[in-house]
Amino acid sequence: MSGPPVRVASVTTRNIAIALHVLRPDAVAAAAEFADEVSGRDGIACWLRPEGVEALAPLVRRPGELRTIASPVSHELELVVVFGGDGTILRAAEWALPAQVPVLGVNLGHVGFLAELEPSQLDELIDRVLARRYRVEERLCLHVELRDSPGGEVVWSSYAINEVSLEKAARERMIEVLVQIDGHPLQRWGTDGVLVSTPTGSTAYAFSAQGPVMWPDLDALLVVPLLAHALFARPLVLSPTSVVSIEMLRGQSTSGVLCCDGRRSVDVAVGSEVVVRRLRQNLRIARLDASPFVERLVRKFQLPVQGWRLDHPIDVGREIQGQKLPPEPGV
């Protein structure tokens, strides 16, 4: 989030940014179709990073209408439409978050929990953006500081939308950490690392580390130890006002690596302290679909809501727990 915001000239009524994975032909094609359909309509101007303009220019009918933006933008930007996976959305958020501009994602990745639409819904996207028929959700984010010692000088800071991870730098050794919550010691762990996640990030790295799935509109923090050698190493759900401190204990030879969303990282020396708290700004996610999160969870993970027990052959008229089972097909 470096660099001062650059204010977009208000030469049109509406300014919409397009972010895309320029190395994916499907993302480039979808973004070009979207730009062709909305640019110039209802006073809309489409803004892209220089590499985005270069990728779309050969494919759109009016390449001269594409506007170039090279820095974070001001609040005059109405929306950022992202074509790619969750990683592309996280990159777009680096300049949408400081300006508090909503992000709307079209999933061209794998699971795509941050994305709102699939490529087959491009026509609906165009219609809804033109008509401004979308709503905005607020997602909690994290602020992280690296201090040279407990309570010492801040030597590095950043933010995270999904999670902050402190992990071992050397494969062959664990790191020794002391975790504190709101200034009170919780536990000392010998571990591969520690995650501090947002509810949005609970379906990302934290999910793979056996953390709980949290509804994204919750205001809460999640702490997940990574393969801790301890009798108590459960994931912890904390208050959104909690402050998490992770101290790299002295007396060990292994350093650590601090990473935010898998994108911004820094080495962590022995004796350093990582402090994580809620970011004052929320990420704004544009939503078109009013379906509850549980439906998205079932769809993205392809959860077996039909069950498997009744798929086996059963006797007609047999009852389970007082409920009469339906007959087998063809009976």
Residues involved in catalysis: 86
Q: Please name every residue paired with 222 in a beta bridge, in sequence order, or none if there are none.
A: 197, 237
Q: In whole angstroms, how far apart are CA 104 and each of 116, 126, 141, 207?
A: 6, 12, 17, 23
Cβ atoms of residues 271 and 250 within 8 Å: yes
Q: Please name every residue paired with 158 in a beta bridge, in sequence order, or none if there are none.
A: 144
Coil vs helix vs strand at 75: coil
φ, ψ for residue 311 (rounded to 5)?
Answer: -80, -15
Cβ atoms of residues 62 and 53 within 8 Å: no
Coil vs helix vs strand at 24: coil
End-to-end CA distance of the chain: 65
What angle in degrees, to the nearest 10, is found between the helix axes of 25-38 and 122-130? 30
**What's at 14, amino acid-wise?**
R
Burial class (CB in 10 A: 0-12, 13-18, 19+), 197: buried
**β-bridge pairing 175-181 and 244-248:** antiparallel
Coil vs helix vs strand at 305: coil
Q: How far is CA 219 from the centre of its chain?
A: 15
